Chain A
Amino acid sequence: MLTRARGVIVVVPAVAWLSIFFLLPLAFILVVSLGSRDELGRIVLDNPSLDNYRRAFNPDYLPTLVTGLRYAALSTIASLLIGYPIAYWISHYGGRHKVLLLLLVMLPFWTSWLIRTYAWMIILRDNGVVNVFLQAIGLTSEPIILLNTDFSVVLGMTYGFLPFAILPIYVSIDRLDHNLVAAARDLYASGRTAFLHVTLPLSMPGIVAASLLTFIPAMGDFVTPDLLGGAQQTTIAKVIQERFLDGRDWPFGSALGFILIAVTLIGTVIALRNVRREMVGE
């Protein structure tokens, strides 16, 4: 009985934290989304209604939702493709320098993320580093438009979320029992086969965690498309931000935000269930 009590006590801080900083704001958004605003921009909760949700299901917003999903998906895939080899390399060949290498992965966080995004603007713009270099070595004669495109947005997002992808994958690879791989090799598996059939499936929890840590923030990121994207790259996150700040319509913004949360949550649950089914099936 004592262990059960101890178990509960250990969990209490986490539950309290989640309740105060996650559930409470979520409830707040839900309540506000049922209200409306008065002429002074204040939230009015006298007649709660689902009007804001009716307005939100406007086909005009669909392209922005699709764009947001597209960027999030692309930057997640890119983060995984780049992050997995890095994590694998650190785990298998890092040796004594593993901690140092991990520190180097985390090092960009010591600089403000906004400044790092501005740095990409300097690199990618028409008379920025890349274009000047390409013209200097004679590959191009005119600057290529790199900034304010889909490419620059996905690049910026991937760059920002890469450390979040590398760390969980590293942890899951590092924890693998190397004897399993050795056993596979003993059973005449080639290196590639051993990787595909042993290492990769066993590191799946890390991959799933990395995907979640990349996809979910990417859906809500309104800064990267704003700075690195152009006039054609508007996401749902930007629409919500505009409603809150420029339009001062918090109730409608909350409704849009809640829909975004719901879409993200449902998508995540479906993806997780598929992954778990695959893992169990293996």
Chain B
Amino acid sequence: MTDRRDSSHPEVEAALERYLTEQRITRRDLLERISVLGAAVALAPIVAACSSVGASATPSLAPPPTAPASTAPSATAAPTPTPAPTPIPSPEAELIVYNWLDYIGEDVIPSFEEKYPVKVKYELFEDIEVAYAKLGKDGSGYDISFPTSVDIPRFREAGTILKLEQSLLPNIVNLGAEWANPGYDPGNAYSVPYMWWTTGIAYDTTKIKETLTSSKALWDPKYKGHISIMDDYQESMGLALKQLGFSVNSTDPAQLDAAINLLKQGKSLLRTRSNDTIGTMAGGDVWIGMIWGSDLWQIQAAVKNENHVYYIPEEGSVRGSDTAVIYSGSKHPVAAHLFLNHLLDAHVSASNTNLIGYMGPNEAAKQYIDKSILDDPAVNPTKAILDKLEELLDMPNAVDEEYLSRWQSYTAGG
């Protein structure tokens, strides 16, 4: 018999032999592999438990059915039934807040970081329209920001902001009664009010000796070249509408025409139109101008004297507010809710007011606010004056066009 091994392909034979001997499992190998597998099986439940603690926070915060599709929370697909009375879920490690310059109390973030294991990244802006552009459709990475109340309805419609989980905001009871159901956000479902202010007129008493009470003072030829109004068409046309006895939210074209004609009559007396109310008044070029009430003390601080006085025109004026919201793209919704709750705390709200100089909507905070602020009629007007203030409402496109086209014909005309 011939040898079975075919010697015409010795390399193949050699390779085959090598392969078979190397792949053979020895008893030692087998024991090693079993022990490794066993360890993995034993540790797996522990590893799974650790990672699910982080994940379990998000399923319980799955947005209620009415909210528009948001990204992070709804991504955890497993339909974990929302556990009934949940202890507050542990917050995420980070929170990103985008706020106005100089618009938060000094100890607000440190006290928050002490209370919860959350690191707060705090970024600033100066122009709200630029901020809106940066925040985009879902926050673009930011968790919390502070839009003006007028803009809440359109953000709500667009699904840009998250519907708030009220169970995580126990401090909401601190709000004053007039803030429980604001016109721009019924029931505070999508926002919490942050700071509010009035719009009025300030003047330099060293340059203007009379005591002024009416908005007609902005049309007085005695002050020609030293008058300013706001570069905000809703506010400035609102002032004119109020002077004529109409509502600041008027949609009647005839009333708007009358208001813009009133403004045109005063145009040649104006020095400037500006939203930098503090810089304009403190500069000295303007003796009388429209300002937001809470800017007064900053003007006084800038000029280092108390020559400026503020009054709300007897014809009536506007009340506005800023709100705090969570964006629908937020990756840290729990921490965000805890932060909003923190802002609603009486001490924290008072700390904000004491630094910024605006009144908050927080009734419980009033006992901790500086007396000088509480007594200041520019910042904290009496009930009689409060009743004469209207809240500015958001304008649908058609109405906005009515206002802006008239405003631009007014600003453009020589």
- Residue ranges of A at the interface with B (Cβ–Cβ < 8 Å): 37-42, 60-64, 67, 121, 125-127, 145, 147-148, 229-232, 234, 238-239, 242-243, 245-247, 249
Say if the beta carbon of B244 comes within 8 Å of chain A: no
Main secondary structure of the interface of B (DSSP, over half): helix
Contact A246 B272 (CB under 8 A): no
Q: Kindly identify which residue among B225, B273, B284, B412 contacts A61, using a CB–CB cutoff of 8 Å.
A: B412
A63 to B397, CA, bound (A): 25
Partner among A41, A42, A60, A125 whose Cβ is within 8 Å of the Cβ of B283: A125
Beyond known contacts A60-B405, A229-B272: 11 more, CB 8 A cutoff: A39-B157, A39-B397, A60-B409, A63-B412, A125-B284, A231-B229, A231-B267, A234-B411, A239-B412, A245-B133, A249-B400
Q: Chain B residues near A247 (CB, 8 Å)?
A: 400, 404
| B413 with A63: CB separation less than 8 A | yes
**Chain B: how many interface residues by the 8 Å CB criterion?**
32
Cβ A63 vs Cβ B270 within 8 A: no
What chain A residues lie within 8 Å of B225 (beta carbons)? 145
* CB of B35 closer than 8 Å to a CB of A: no
Whole-angstrom distance between the alpha carbons of A171 and B405 in the complex?
Answer: 47
B90 CB → nearest A CB, Å: 35
Binding site for A on B (CB under 8 A): 129-130, 133, 154, 157-158, 225, 228-229, 232-233, 267-268, 270-273, 283-285, 396-397, 400-401, 404-405, 408-409, 411-414
Partner among A37, A41, A126, A232 whose Cβ is within 8 Å of the Cβ of B284: A126
* Cβ contact within 8 Å between B414 and A63: yes
A246:B233 contact, CB within 8 angstroms: yes
Q: Which residues in B have their C-beta under 8 angstroms from that of A147?
A: 285
Main secondary structure of the interface of A (DSSP, over half): loop
Please name the 8 residue pairs, one residue from A and one from B, whose CB atoms are nearest each other, closest first: A231-B270, A60-B409, A245-B129, A127-B284, A40-B158, A64-B412, A230-B272, A126-B285
| Bound complex: CA A78 to CA B284 (Å) | 29
Q: Is the Cβ of B408 less than 8 Å from the Cβ of A61?
A: yes
- With a cutoff of 8 Å between Cβ atoms, the chain B residues found around residue A60 in the complex are 405, 408-409, 412-413
Chain B residues with CB below 8 A from A231, complex form: 228-229, 267, 270-273, 411
Among residues of B, the one whose C-beta sits closest to the C-beta of A41 is: B154
Give min CB distance, A256 to chain B, whole Å: 10
Q: Known contacts being A242-B404, A245-B129, is A121 close to B283, with CB within 8 Å?
A: yes
Q: Which residue of B lies closest to A245 (CB)?
A: B129
Name the CB-closest residue of B to A236. B412
Q: How far is the CB of A132 from chain B (nearest CB, A)?
A: 11
Contacts of B409 in A (CB 8 A): 60
Residues of B within 8 A of A230 (CB): 270-273
In the complex the two chains form, is B414's CB within 8 Å of A125's CB? no
Question: Taking the nearest CB of chain A, how far is it from the CB of B88, in angstroms?
Answer: 34
Shortest CB distance A263–B (Å): 16
The docked-state distance in angstroms from the alpha carbon of A4 to that of B273 is 58
Question: What's the Cα separation between A60 and B270 when bound, in Å?
Answer: 20
Given the known interface contacts A121-B283, A125-B284, A126-B284, the answer about A246 and B414 at a Cβ–Cβ threshold of 8 Å is no
Residue on A nearest B128 in the bound complex, by CB: A245
Instruction: Report whether A246 and B404 are in contact in the complex, using a CB–CB cutoff of 8 Å.
Output: yes
Of listed A67, A147, A246, A249, residue having the most chain B CB within 10 A: A246
**Assembled-state Cα–Cα distance A239/B272 (Å):** 16
Of the candidates B157, B396, B404, the one having the most CB atoms from chain A within 10 angstroms of its own CB is B404
